[in-house]
Amino acid sequence: MHLRQKMNKINESWHKKNLMPDNPTMEQRIKWHLEHIKYCACRDIPIKLKQEMKRRKIKFPA
């Protein structure tokens, strides 16, 4: 993780209810981040995941 990452507001209750699985599959990561971005602003979708979503023609908020 980047140390200089911006400290955006974290929705802790959402995170407690929506833990990322251990060793998530690509599908699980995409699903998690699509939900995450709706409820929490603590971090952005990783660039690698955005590329994968574009490849799969999955829409995500800019």
Residues within the interface to Zn ion (CB under 5 A) = 40, 42
Task: Between 15 and 52, name the residue whose CB sits nearer to Zn ion.
Answer: 15
Task: Between 5 and 51, name the residue whose CB sits nearer to Zn ion.
Answer: 5
Gyration radius from the chain CA atoms: 12
- Is residue 9 within 8 Å of 34, Cβ to Cβ? no
Task: Between 16 and 55, name the residue whose CB sits nearer to Zn ion.
Answer: 16
The nearest distance, CB 52 to Zn ion, in angstroms, is: 19
**What is the rounded CA–CA span in Å between residue 18 and residue 58?**
21
